[in-house]
Structure 1
Amino acid sequence: MTPFRFPRSASAPADDTAAPRAATARRPWLAAARVAPIVLAGTLVFAGCTATNTAATDDGSSSGDSTVSLAATASVDPGVTAAEAMAENEDPPGEDGDDTWDTADEVAISLDGTTATVADGADATGVSVDGDTVTITAAGTYRLSGELAGQVVVDTADEGLVRIILDGVDITSDSTAALAIVNADRAQVVLADGSENTLADTSSYAEDADVNAALFSSADLEIAGSGSLTVQGNGNDGIASKDGLLVSGGEITVDAVDDGIRGKDEVVIEGGTVTVTAGGDGLKADNAEEADRGYIAIAGGTVTVDAGGDGLDAATDVVIWGGTLDVTAGGGAGSSVSEDTSTKGVKGAVSVIVDGGEVAVDAADDAIHTDNTAHLANGSITLATGDDGVHAEVALTVSGGTLDVTTSYEALEADAIAIAGGDTSVTASDDGVNAGSSLEISGGELVVDAEGDGLDSNGTIAMSGGDVVVNGPTGQGNGALDVDGGFDITGGTLVAGGSSGMAVAPSADAAQASVLVAFSQQVAAGTELQVVASDGTVVATYTAAKSVGSLAVSNADLVNGETYTVTANGSTVGSGVAGEQVSGMGGPGGGTGGGAPAPRG
């Protein structure tokens, strides 16, 4: 059975009084993530849900599904913040003091073509040279410079940090990794200020090779400094760690035939400029066996990913709260979705949390995908996709920030969707917002442009606040609003224009009144429509984004039983009585009277 990590409960730390297990002064990114955590009023909480986790093999194919009932676990909270998520995850590599050292303690190693030498006077007991292979056998600080057609290996049983300073190196191996940390307690690669460094590996590895990346580490690895590093992963991955991987600085460029940057336990980027081109996944963390590992975190820096597979692929969480992330996956939204390879933009099996920063995704498949819950809490998010903009199997919460889904099949999809804040704009060739069981809107601004249903719930819709504008379909087979189990509205403003064939409005007995008007004639795009009360008061204004045949409106100014007229450029195109909505009205001129409502598409 594929290991599955259950989502965190609502009891996770929610403020600065609950510090992470091993937070140190060296991790300002973690402190920053814990500032002003978001607390949702009325956050959706579910029990008894079912989540599915599919493990992917290195070639992107499925290795089998496991379905785990969540009924016996803590409640699923789709509103977990970045601070709460990171407080429960394993700390990434790095300890106090790693960023400072005495230059007098450095061991200088000069690479010279097919061999290397240790500088005169340096303590060379921790370095051995055998032809084109340089082996570091003790903890300490080593400064490398020059060119080597061979390999640098770290193999030590010492406790403590092995610090490797790359100061203008070009290492190329035609048989294995260029730099391989095969045994160490902890490791750090420092890119010297102003230096340019290159690592390139062999074009092929044995299928069972343990060392299989241009820069490989079996231990926790941090990449730091301000120089540049170009990594050519010719045979497999570019940079890979079998433990955790932290990037805290430098200008890093990776081009790999398979995954770009892989950390088994975690990949954390807190600074620098990282550019990845990968035939497989761009950034990958694949430990699905331990609850606090297998995550990807973006806390700062500038990250650009162009991947043939998934842009970011985490066995547990993807947590973003700083920096800039730009992802292209599977060729982008205009490319066909592969049946053999996952081509999602940002994928976290347990959760995806965006709590700050700037995120742009262009993906052939879902732009953001999770097998469980997603929370978009803050930051700026722009998504383009050939499938879903945001897809969460269990629940999706939007509580803040700016979200713009520029192109999609369905823009937002989850079993349960809560929109509690933020500024959201979505465009979809099918449904704009599609909820399997419930859609709850309590705040924020939402603008939907959909050719299928605008707001669609197979269960219920409940609206208590916020401002919603739906530019619905022109075809008669869908509606601006589509709800199977009732639409209760107690607050906020709703304006939904679309075709008239499947038009519906909020429930007639809802606390806030609504009116649904079918037009006597189709109204052209760009026309300003006004909803006018019997005393001449304009209670709502809507500019048609496309041709429309009906309009549904709800706000605090409407009164049940009152008649409202809709005018287009001063001419009346229809009228309706608030509280007397009838669904399935037929085409323009079809009226709102009797008969069974037409089936919804």
Structure 2
Amino acid sequence: MHYRTGKLIPMLIAILFITLVIGCQTTSSAAIPSETMTVNEVAIIDPGYSNRDLEGTWDAETATSISLNGSSIAISGAGATASGGQLTISTAGVYVLSGTLDKGQIIVDAADSDKVQIVLNGVSITCPDSAPIYVKQADKVFLTLGEGTKNTITDGATYILADGEEEPDAAIFSKEDLTINGSGELIVKANYNNGITSKDDLIITGGDIIVNSARDGLRGRDMVAIYGGAFVINAAGDGIKSNNDKDTDKGWVSIDGGTFDITAGNDGIQAETIAQITGGTINIKTGGGSAEASVARQNDMRPGWGKDQAEQTDASESTKGIKGKTAVYVTGGNINIDSKDDSLHSNGDISITAGTLTLSAGDDGIHADASVVVNGGTIDITNSYEGVEGKTIVINGGEIHVTASDDGLNAADGSAAPVFGGRPPEGNFDQRDAVDGRDSTFIRITDGYIVINASGDGIDSNGSLYMDGGTVLVNGPTNNGNGPLDHDRMAEITGGTLVAAGSSGMAQNFSDSSTQNSLLVAYSTVQKAGTPVSLMDESGKTILNFIPAKDYQSIVISTPELQQGKTYTLYSGGSLAGNSSDGLYIGASYSPGTEIVKVTISGTITSISDTGDQITSMGGPGGMGGPRRGTPPVTGTVPVTTPRPHSRS
């Protein structure tokens, strides 16, 4: 990774990218490949902010003072020359600018070892045919915003460039490292292309910055690091971008503080390698927001799905909230995203350890081609096609709410052929599961609090599903082409509390290799949303009280209190009084409704109909996104269905 101080640090904590819980947790007996049984440290990039980056101060007595007077420039001090409306800074030093320049330009053309500080102390600079501020050469330039000042930089819609040249291409353009600091206001009106661009590092540590740009808002080729400041960015292209695709140690973005209101035609924050959020308050809207997702995408026709911007024929189709091609790391901050495409997206991994995320996506709320790991934080996916999707999904903590028009959690390897309706599989997922049967696609839940409202499968693994702890509440599909739980290989539960209610046509229970008992009950008729479900033991003790948010015809219950050899009674209806969380009542008072069925738990897995008949086999891989033709309703016993190949669902 790229780091400005020459070292890589864990930034106070080591983020564990865990694909299998090690230590006190009960391990599964499933055939998990050896490469998943490791703990890899995800090292957060240290931007290495220097004192001079952060301070934004200067010595007025030794600085060169420059007065902008419409079409002329007056200089008091050394290191700069003026010709008409053009100011050229040629040596290291501090230059304090004030006044108005109507048709002019500030150029830095110093030695490549020189550090230059330009203080904008109340300026308005307009250049109709080039970059108003143009850094041609220096070691580094500091652009300091004077306290209490307002500074405006405006370019024209057309630049006059030398033959064969494509630069400068931004209102503030630097070929060298550029730091913006101070506490003043900076308004950039970029009519030609980008707002602020550095061909090397772009660092911002303070200021009130408003950027309106014809293309990208902030752009640092090698990296963008933001420590603080208040930003309003309106960009026809990407809001914040680092685009070095030649060096894998570069092309990253780090947001470590500040407040952001980003409205982008394309991606909100885009990194060629890693996008990391360690702090700040970030509001992003891309492509007009999730409400603007195309009819084709909403109807399962997702051209370009899962592909990064460079792979698409039309770059404007990439309208993701935060995108890191190598990885996305979130260790803090308050993030609100309304995106036409995925809200968080990586062609590699996504790790979330802390922070508050509110996501509304026209496509997936969180999508990684490789692993999604959640170790903490609060995640509320209010709207999505699929809520959380990755080749593997590991949830070790945090609070997660998901609303999805298809699957809530989906682990997919992309090995299936396109399904009816034309939705292609994810091109970047590998096909190892299909080739050698290894369990390289899975969902594992070890802890946390997860609530899912899904119109497709509630939890869908194209490989296996493991639950070792935590609380999971699923309000699943109402159509019989999907199920509350869906797995292709096995589903093992060793701990935690799970309730999964939904349709019955493709419903599945856990596997008998589980060590915690589970009960599946299929109803003869649909139970209406809001109808309480209560499970009591033979002494009258309540094991579980839950009110599903949607119509349901099956329910899966698994808790540590469910014991073999005991008889339980399932009730429907009645009334509950007490404290509830997302329909789950803890310590509530229950007035029993209708007794549905009594069942004695004689094995790890119990699957029955509401008549008490045992169900030996039911359901199968689901996720086609709609009712399966010919699926009969539940009548006493659940029909056996033949498992069908998974799409990328």
CA spacing shift, 1:577–1:405, aligned 2, 3 Å:
farther
CA spacing shift, 1:175–1:288, aligned 2, 3 Å:
same
Equivalent-residue separation in structure 1 for 2:597 and 2:448 (angstroms) = 30
Equivalent-residue separation in structure 2 for 1:136 and 1:20 (angstroms) = 26
Structure 1 position 289, deviation (Å): 1.9
Aligned with residue 423 of structure 1, among 399, 409, 412: 399
- Aligned residue number for residue 467 of structure 1: 471
Aligned with residue 141 of structure 1, among 82, 88, 94: 94
Structure 1 position 597, deviation (Å): 5.3
Matches within 5 A, 1:222-237: 222-237=179-194
Equivalent-residue separation in structure 1 for 2:82 and 2:358 (angstroms) = 51
Equivalent-residue separation in structure 2 for 1:275 and 1:249 (angstroms) = 13
Q: Look up the SS of the partner of 2:44 in the other structure.
A: helix
**What are structure 1's unaligned runs of at least 5 residues?**
9-18, 24-29, 46-70
- Aligned residue number for residue 423 of structure 2: none
Whether the aligned pair in 1 keeps the contact of 2:358 and 2:379 (CA below 8 Å) is yes
**Segment drifting more, 202-211 vs 543-552:** 202-211
- Aligned residue number for residue 594 of structure 2: 571
Aligned with residue 14 of structure 2, among 29, 34, 37: 37
1:313 aligned to 2:313? no
Whether the aligned pair in 1 keeps the contact of 2:18 and 2:39 (CA below 8 Å) is no
Structure 1 position 114, deviation (Å): 0.9
- Aligned residue number for residue 516 of structure 2: 512
Equivalent-residue separation in structure 2 for 1:79 and 1:195 (angstroms) = 47
Q: Look up the SS of the partner of 2:387 in the other structure.
A: strand
Equivalent-residue separation in structure 2 for 1:457 and 1:356 (angstroms) = 28
1:174 aligned to 2:174? no
Structure 1 position 537, deviation (Å): 2.7
Give me the TM-score of the superposition, normalised by structure 1.
Answer: 0.85
- Aligned residue number for residue 214 of structure 2: 257
CA spacing shift, 1:381–1:128, aligned 2, 3 Å:
same
Structure 1 position 97, deviation (Å): 8.8
Q: Look up the SS of the partner of 2:45 in the other structure.
A: helix
Matches within 5 A, 1:6-45: 21-22=5-6, 34-39=11-16, 43=20
CA spacing shift, 1:263–1:322, aligned 2, 3 Å:
same
Q: Look up the SS of the partner of 1:474 in the other structure.
A: coil
- Aligned residue number for residue 283 of structure 1: 240
Q: Deviations over 1:44-73 (max 9, x none)?
A: 89xxxxxxxxxxxxxxxxxxxxxxxxx9xx
**What are structure 2's unaligned runs of at least 5 residues?**
23-32, 295-302, 305-313, 413-440, 575-592, 608-614, 620-630
Equivalent-residue separation in structure 1 for 2:4 and 2:170 (angstroms) = 32
CA spacing shift, 1:173–1:286, aligned 2, 3 Å:
same
Q: Look up the SS of the partner of 2:355 in the other structure.
A: strand
CA spacing shift, 1:422–1:368, aligned 2, 3 Å:
same
Kindly provide the amino acid, as one letter, of the partner of residue 131 in structure 1: G
1:439 aligned to 2:443? yes
Structure 1 position 595, deviation (Å): 4.2
Q: Deviations over 1:529-578 (max 9, x none)?
A: 10223443321111110111111011111124655332112102345554
The structure with the greater share of residues assigned to strand is: 1
Aligned with residue 530 of structure 1, among 514, 527, 534: 534
Whether the aligned pair in 2 keeps the contact of 1:108 and 1:144 (CA below 8 Å) is yes
Q: Deviations over 1:143-177 (max 9, x none)?
A: 00000021111111152320000011000001100
Aligned with residue 147 of structure 2, among 169, 193, 213: 193
1:356 aligned to 2:332? yes
Equivalent-residue separation in structure 2 for 1:499 and 1:593 (angstroms) = 12
Kindly provide the amino acid, as one letter, of the partner of residue 328 in structure 2: V
Structure 1 position 336, deviation (Å): 2.8
CA spacing shift, 1:98–1:249, aligned 2, 3 Å:
closer
Give the CA RMSD over aligned residues: 2.6
Work out the number of aligned pairs and report it.
543
Kindly provide the amino acid, as one letter, of the partner of residue 596 in structure 2: V
- Aligned residue number for residue 635 of structure 2: 590
Equivalent-residue separation in structure 2 for 1:114 and 1:304 (angstroms) = 35
Equivalent-residue separation in structure 1 for 2:486 and 2:282 (angstroms) = 35
Aligned with residue 304 of structure 1, among 244, 249, 261: 261
Equivalent-residue separation in structure 1 for 2:122 and 2:276 (angstroms) = 34
Kindly provide the amino acid, as one letter, of the partner of residue 246 in structure 2: E
CA spacing shift, 1:267–1:44, aligned 2, 3 Å:
farther
